[in-house]
Amino acid sequence: MKLAGVVLAAGLGTRMNSSASGGLPKVLHKLHGTTMLQHVLNTLHKLKPQKIVIIVGKHFKEIKESLQDVSKPSFAQQKEAKGTGDALLKALPSLRSFKGTVAVINGDTPLITPETLKKFLSLHEKSMNTISILSFVSQQPSSYGKVMRHERGNVLSIVENRNATMSQKKIKEVNSGIYAIEPEGLCLLKEIKLNESKGEYYLTDIVSIARDKGIKVDAFCIGSEDECIGINTREELDRARQLMKDRIIKRWLYRGVTFVDTNSVFISSNIHIGRGTIVYPNVHLEGNTKIGKRCTIYPNVRILNSIIGDGAVIKDSTLIEGSVVKRKASVGPFAHIRPGSEIGAGARIGNFVEVKKSVIGSGTKASHLTYLGDAKIGKDVNIGAGTITCNYDGYKKNITTIEDNVFIGSDSQLIAPVKIGKGAYVGAGSTITNDVPSKALALSRVEQKHFESWAIKRQLKVKSEQLKVKGAKSKERRSKRKVQSERSKVQSAKS
């Protein structure tokens, strides 16, 4: 089947009440790290259409900028949101040279799966319909267009809720906003009349127009409510988020991942997790993160856009961003791996260690209280507690190079640019400003002095000072008593 996709995304999304969040267009609200529109595009992309057209409105720029470059869509603009019928009409110039089936999807239907779309399109093809609609049975049909059927089952029209009679409102088969339309059907768009009650051109009116002309149109009720949910309000967005979360968690449970508590993990839709990995509560895996096999991710960890190798252990309360942690490495607790870092196989990054844009060789250990920024660190290096790479001179960032098998003593400062040669030692408490040759010991702390018997002399001094104070106090008391007795003598003489 020759296929093109059209995504309707030019609506104003008034029911989302987004003016407070900078007027974010509805289709750019996110579900598990990916916008609604991108979810729809990713799904559509799996059907391998020859072309994808997105109908955009006044938020053209934001929408274009938000897209990940998977499907390379083209855009058509609907300057005024005059309804879904008018929106699809705007796609026609981009489809002029396309002769095939056009799959139309509302941009606010992010949970639809490629499997259901494929099934729908093959039913459309087999039935040789000019227009097909994907419908589903809804338990809350009030926000959807109702599918009107003749008693023999043929579709007559779609009636929007606001235009429906009381008995029509009870109909549970509703329109998903997903259509398959042949070129002949697209020609009918021009015939859609303005719906006076809303002041919009309803795409759904194409059904009755086609029927009146004897053009073959039908609805296939193959969708489920969980897949076809259309998002108009934040409440519906939250419901869709929950549904998507359940779907993501189920996928990984099925593939052999253990979650200690499925309720308290957040996993974005693009994540990959290897078999045998254990994920503890309150873990956030975001962006394009890949977690290897048999890893352990302890509580309160957030990992985004990173790759974690097989068997790695990420301990409690750790943040890893835009980095690679190789197999069997251990990071945390309370570590921060900032973008552009690579933690080598079997390396250990421990408590309160921050690593920024640095390469840490395999088997290297920085176990406590350390900052490693813009550093190139070799294999089997030991970084002592409190080591700091002083990478910033106030103008630019400088590189610290530490070659294989180096030992950096605790509380050392390495003033970059500086290089510590292979197998060298840096004594604890050193401030290293010059390159250290391979195998050397570098020491740059003030030499220790001993003052013999200093403690005894100090004790004697303190004691003699205490005696002096004591003597002065008793002298004062004696003189006070003397004054007192003189006074009482004078008093008794007077009386």
Question: Using the rule CB under 5 A, which residue among 13, 141, 230, 409 binds Ca ion?
Answer: 230
Residues sharing a CB contact under 8 Å with residue 456, sequence separation 6 or more, in sequence order: none
Three-class SS of residue 96? coil
Nearer to ligand UD1, 194 or 260 (CB): 194
Determine the Cα–Cα distance for residues 387 and 374; give it in Å rounded to an integer.
14
Q: How far is the CB of 401 from Ca ion (least distance, A)?
A: 57
Q: How far is the CB of 80 from ligand UD1 (least distance, A)?
A: 8
Nearer to ligand UD1, 107 or 384 (CB): 107
Determine the Cα–Cα distance for residues 131 and 301; give it in Å rounded to an integer.
49
Residues sharing a CB contact under 8 Å with residue 388, sequence separation 6 or more, in sequence order: 370, 371, 412, 413, 414
Strands 131-137 and 173-181: antiparallel
Q: How far is the CB of 217 from ligand UD1 (least distance, A)?
A: 14
Residue pair 171/219 in contact by the 8 Å Cβ criterion:
no
* 144 belongs to the binding site for ligand UD1 (CB under 6 A): yes
* 416 belongs to the binding site for ligand UD1 (CB under 6 A): no
Residue pair 155/207 in contact by the 8 Å Cβ criterion:
yes
Residue pair 402/380 in contact by the 8 Å Cβ criterion:
no
Nearest to 2 by CA among 141, 99, 107, 69: 99
Question: Which tokens in the block code for residue 371?
Answer: 């900052």
Determine the Cα–Cα distance for residues 322 and 303; give it in Å rounded to an integer.
8
Question: 99-138 mask for Ca ion (x: CB under 5 A)?
Answer: ---------x------------------------------
Nearer to Ca ion, 228 or 257 (CB): 228
Among 6-14, 164-172, 282-290, 396-404, the segment contacting ligand UD1 (CB under 6 A): 6-14
Among 44-52, 232-240, 272-280, 453-461, the segment contacting Ca ion (CB under 5 A): 232-240
Nearer to ligand UD1, 159 or 271 (CB): 159
Task: Give catalytic residue positions.
Answer: 368
For ligand UD1, the binding residues in 173-202 under the rule CB under 6 A are: 174-177, 202
Question: Using the rule CB under 6 A, which residue among 6, 34, 102, 108 binds ligand UD1?
Answer: 108
Q: How far is the CB of 118 from ligand UD1 (least distance, A)?
A: 20
Determine the Cα–Cα distance for residues 375 and 358; give it in Å rounded to an integer.
5
Question: 63-102 mask for Ca ion (x: CB under 5 A)?
Answer: ----------------------------------------
Question: Using the rule CB under 6 A, which residue among 9, 44, 383, 442 binds ligand UD1?
Answer: 9
Determine the Cα–Cα distance for residues 4 and 423; give it in Å rounded to an integer.
62
Q: Is 494 left (phi over 0), alpha (psi -120 to 50) or beta?
A: alpha
Task: Work out what residue 323 binds among Ca ion, ligand UD1, none; the CB cut-off runs from 5 to 8 Å by kind.
Answer: none
Q: How far is the CB of 106 from Ca ion (least distance, A)?
A: 6
Nearer to ligand UD1, 131 or 203 (CB): 203
Q: How far is the CB of 65 from ligand UD1 (least distance, A)?
A: 17
Q: Is 300 left (phi over 0), alpha (psi -120 to 50) or beta?
A: left
Nearer to ligand UD1, 75 or 407 (CB): 75
Residues sharing a CB contact under 8 Å with residue 199, sequence separation 6 or more, in sequence order: 82
Sign of the four-CA dihedral 295, 299, 301, 305: positive
* 204 belongs to the binding site for ligand UD1 (CB under 6 A): yes
Q: How far is the CB of 108 from Ca ion (least distance, A)?
A: 5
* 158 belongs to the binding site for ligand UD1 (CB under 6 A): yes
Three-class SS of residue 436? strand
Residue ranges in contact with ligand UD1 by CB under 6 A: 8-11, 27, 55, 78, 81-84, 86-87, 106-109, 144-145, 158, 160, 174-177, 202-204, 230, 232
